């Protein structure tokens, strides 16, 4: 079975994860993943480096983000949705989504009230996946307003354009078996596929300590109390091996969710072309080349500094040197 990791944050999500892009890709490759997603929360700063490194390592990069915005049912609380680009149009939409949710006014307030309805025009050509952690609105409804779970799915499906795919995320945790069964029922009711979302925040189980240190810094809290106990703490949101995932999801009867990660990465094909920067061409008709025009302007300006007197040789030589460097670098039109 070929699998992908679809929910992974990195150190680009400030003070939420100690994972570097290099660590994520290298570890995913060693642990049996064919594809890996980068889904930092509301930011896309790491995607280009992630794309380049993953390509060089022979593992398929899935370009995504966790969109943290106002809920569909509970509009006064923020919840997450995973968005992964299906193609280049989807990738551009993720860039637009990130910009939209991070725009602020001069007084530091949000530019817009960030709701999914207002972002609808940017939701095309994406895989949209509900999360299964504490930031999942679907999970929140399960524990606090169970009867509204179907309404949430209806609202979400209605907003999404036909070019996007909706999946229901599940996390293989035995303590969440009742929630998992409810999501399975919803998937059957609405003919939606389950997909595995592990919410990876650190590489190895004991790395939860590093994540908790970052969280303490973010919360401005001390970690001195219980320091030794914290060091021995083992977390569950680490990058598990393929075999471990197969065992966990199979034991809960949701192995199909792990299989369906392949459908997501098979249908995700972003190709980023990297080209040299293209400087604008300065249009003028007085001289044959931009270099000649720049030389004329520079000499005219230098002569003006000395009025009608002769220009000292050291000034002429320095100007010629600077113009030569500009010409060699191809910046004549810029200047």
Give per-residue pLDDT as tens, 288-326: 999 999 999 999 999 999 887 899 999 999 999 999 999
Cβ atoms of residues 285 and 328 within 8 Å: no
CA distance 68 to 50: 21
CATH number assigned to the domain comprising residue 210: 3.20.20.140
| pLDDT of amino acid 168 | 99
Residue for token pair 């072309």? 273
Please, how many CA atoms are within 13 Å of residue 4, restricted to the half-sphere of its CB? Answer: 25
The answer on 315 and 200 residing in a single domain is no
Q: Domain check: are 237 and 291 in the same one?
A: no
Predicted local distance difference test score (pLDDT) of residue 16:
94
Question: Within a 10 A sphere around the Cβ of 152, how many other Cβ atoms?
Answer: 22
What is the phi/psi pair of residue 80, to 5°? -105, 145
Shared domain for 231 and 314, answered yes or no, is no
**For residue 287, what are its two tokens?**
């001289």
Residue 216 has a pLDDT of 85
Say if residue 156 is in the same domain as residue 97. Answer: yes
pTM: 0.84
Chosen domain end from 205, 239, 266: 266
Do 151 and 41 sit in the same domain of this protein?
yes
Same domain membership, residue 29 and residue 168: yes
pLDDT computed for residue 277 by the predictor: 74
**3-class DSSP state of 81:** strand
Do 134 and 218 belong to one domain? yes
Q: Are residue 290 and residue 244 in the same domain, yes or no? A: no
In DSSP terms, 104 is beta-bridged to 110
- What is the predicted pLDDT for the residue at 232? 66
Residue pLDDT, tens place only, 155-173: 999 999 999 999 999 999 9
List pLDDT tens digits, range 43-59.
999 999 999 999 999 99
The residue to which tokens 């249009």 are assigned: 283
Q: Counting beta carbons within 10 angstroms of the beta carbon of residue 263, is it exposed (0 to 12), middle (13 to 18) or buried (19 or more)?
A: middle
C-beta separation of 137 from 143 below 8 A: no
Looking at residue 229, its pLDDT comes to 52
Q: Taking the CA atoms of 262, 263, 266 and 269 in sequence, report the sign of the dihedral they define.
A: negative
Highest mean pLDDT among 109-123, 198-212, 250-264: 250-264
35 closest CA partner among 73, 61, 72: 61
Its domain, for residue 325, covers 275-335
The DSSP secondary-structure symbol of 325 reads H
Report the interhelical angle of 290-305 vs 313-329 (nearest 10°).
Answer: 150
Structure tokens, 311 = 């220009």
pLDDT digits (tens, 9 = 90+) for 75-111: 999 999 999 999 999 999 999 999 999 986 556 566 5
Average pLDDT, the chain: 93
Pairing mode of beta strands 78-85, 60-70: antiparallel
Last residue of a domain, one of 266, 288, 308: 266
Domain end residue (candidates: 243, 266, 289): 266
Q: How far apart are the first and last CA of the chain?
A: 57
If asked whether residues 39 and 149 sit together in one domain, one would say: yes
Cα-based torsion angle of the residue sequence 74, 75, 77, 78 in order, rounded to the nearest 10 degrees: 110
pLDDT on residue 204: 97
Quick one: pLDDT at residue 110?
62
Tokens of 330: 């191809």
Digit-coded pLDDT (tens) for 210-264: 888 898 898 888 876 555 555 667 899 999 999 999 999 999 999 999 999 999 9
* Count of domains for the chain: 2
Is there a single domain that holds both residue 13 and residue 144? yes
In this prediction, residues 195-199 reach a mean pLDDT of 98
């Amino acid at each position: 079975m070929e699998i992908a990791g679809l929910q992974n944050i990195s150190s680009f999500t400030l003070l939420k994860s100690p994972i570097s892009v290099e660590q994520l890709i290298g570890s995913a490759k060693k642990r049996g993943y064919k594809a890996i997603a980068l889904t930092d929360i509301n930011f896309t700063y790491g995607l280009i480096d992630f794309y380049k490194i993953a390509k060089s390592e022979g593992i398929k990069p899935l370009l995504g983000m966790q969109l943290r915005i106002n809920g569909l049912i509970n509009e006064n609380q923020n919840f997450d949705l995973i968005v992964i680009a299906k193609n280049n149009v989807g990738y551009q939409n993720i860039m637009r989504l990130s910009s939209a949710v991070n725009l602020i006014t001069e007084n530091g307030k949000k530019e817009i009230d960030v709701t999914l309805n207002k972002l609808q025009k940017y939701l095309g050509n994406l895989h949209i996946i509900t999360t299964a952690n504490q930031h999942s609105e679907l999970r929140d409804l399960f524990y606090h307003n169970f009867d509204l779970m179907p309404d949430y799915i209806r609202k979400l499906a209605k907003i999404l354009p036909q070019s996007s795919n909706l999946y229901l995320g599940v996390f293989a945790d035995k303590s969440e078996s009742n929630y998992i069964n409810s999501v399975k029922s919803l998937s059957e009711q609405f003919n939606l596929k389950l997909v595995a979302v592990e919410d990876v925040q650190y590489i190895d189980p004991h790395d939860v300590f590093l994540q908790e240190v970052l969280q303490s810094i973010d919360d401005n809290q001390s970690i001195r109390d219980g320091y030794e106990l914290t060091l021995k703490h083992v977390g569950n949101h680490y990058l598990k091996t393929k075999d471990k995932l197969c065992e966990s999801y199979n034991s809960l009867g949701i192995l199909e969710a792990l299989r369906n990660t392949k459908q997501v990465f098979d249908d995700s094909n972003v190709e980023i072309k990297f080209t040299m920067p293209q400087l604008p061409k300065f249009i003028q008709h007085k001289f044959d080349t931009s270099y000649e025009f720049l030389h004329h302007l520079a000499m005219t300006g230098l002569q003006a500094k000395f009025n009608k007197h002769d220009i000292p040789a050291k000034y002429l030589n320095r100007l010629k040197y600077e113009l030569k460097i500009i010409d060699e670098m191809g910046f004549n039109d810029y200047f």
